[in-house]
Amino acid sequence: MSVFVNKDTKVIIQGFSPNSQGGFHGLRNRAYGTQVVGGVNPKRAGEEIEGVPVFATVADAVAATGADASFVAVPPSGSPGAILEAAAAGIPFVVCITEGIPAQDEARTYNILKRDFPNTRLLGPNCPGIITPGECNIGITPGEIALGGGPVGIVSRSGTLTYQALYELKQKGIGVTTCVGIGGDPVPGTSFIDCLEAFQADPLTKAVIMFGEIGGTAEEEAADYIRDKMDKPVASYVAGVTAPAGKKMGHAGAIVSGNMGTAKGKMEALRAAGVQVGLNPTEAGELMADIVKNL
């Protein structure tokens, strides 16, 4: 099985044009085998781009194609509106890769989704997306680094570390059920706990590898969930051990304030919850390989 997306997921691309990020990555997703059934671009409505029909609105695309997932690849100023347009059209799963959306816009969009569109899940923004290897790839993850079949689920805040987690496992011959990049912004649409809960419920996911980073309390909250609600083994790595306090490190959410959000504190919380914590991504992969041997 998988979580959130599979071979039957029908995807539309918001911000679809020949020379855009949406066009480039959307067509790569289709080449991987994802069911990309349409694009949305009001300026190109009625056209076809490499065989993909383009619609003026998400509602038009859903009516014509039955799409149940959307890939939002529009600039920061338009992303909140695009996310809410997808939700209003009944799309249950929205992936937004856009970086640089102001935190207050993210928070407003997140709260509108929770209040008005509780049946829509947002992944991102500022995330690499999601891949169920061999079935569906939505976003910018290179499919060739992913080995499918399980038994491991992956969830990661960092995009680059999402790729490394996939490749570390592939090099060891370990398959993945689904890999979810939740993004590193302060207000992610989907949290570690959302993914851990989904992996816990998925019978083909037997273990989980979780990559975190400095900033916020998401990893500590995940540790509490793992301790109290999970019976599947978890391995982890937390980036940013040497990060100086008060300096943003890459992601908008990756900042240490005083004693809050440190890699050391997150690692201690995870270890206390029974998680096997590696000191680097490769070590985390090795820990997971040992876990898989003993499943």
Q: Which residue of the set 25, 30, 232, 251 is catalytic?
A: 251
Dist CA 80 CA 192 (whole Å): 22
Contact assessment for residue 101 and residue 185, using Cβ atoms and an 8 Å cutoff = yes
How far apart are alpha carbons 295 and 293 in whole angstroms? 6
Asked about 251 being catalytic, the answer comes back as yes
Cα distance between residue 173 and residue 147, in whole Å: 8
Q: Give the list of residues 6+ apart from residue 294 with CB closer than 8 angstroms, or none.
A: none
Q: Residue 137: beta bridge partners?
A: 131
148 secondary structure, DSSP code: B
Separation CA 211–CA 46 (nearest Å): 42
Helices (H), the chain: 21-32, 58-65, 79-88, 103-116, 159-171, 192-201, 218-229, 263-272, 281-293
> What phi and psi, each to the nearest 5 degrees, are found at residue 185?
-75, 160
Question: Any idea which residues carry the catalytic annotation?
Answer: 251
